[in-house]
Structure 1
Amino acid sequence: MNWSTERLPLWPDSWRSDAALLRRARAGEKAASDQLIKRLLPQAHALAWRLTGHAADSDDVVQEAFCRLWQHGGGFEGRAQLSTWFLGIVRNLCMDRFRRSRPQADETEMDALADDRPTPEQRWQTVAREGALHRALAQLPARQRAALMMWAWQEYDVAAIARELGIAENAAHQLLFRARARLRMLLSGESDDE
Structure 2
Amino acid sequence: MYETFRRCRKRKYLYELLDSDILNQFPSFSHYVYHSLGWNYLESQKYEKALEALQKALPLRPKQLDKAITTLLIGRIYFEIGQYEEAQKYYSETKETILLSESLRTKRLWIDEQLDLYCKLNQIHQVKELFIELKSLVDIDKFPESMLYELKTSMYKRFEGLSPLRREEYLFLYNFFAP
Structure 2 length-normalised TM = 0.24
The structure with more radius of gyration: 1
Higher RCO, 1 vs 2 (CA within 8 Å, ≥6 residues apart):
1
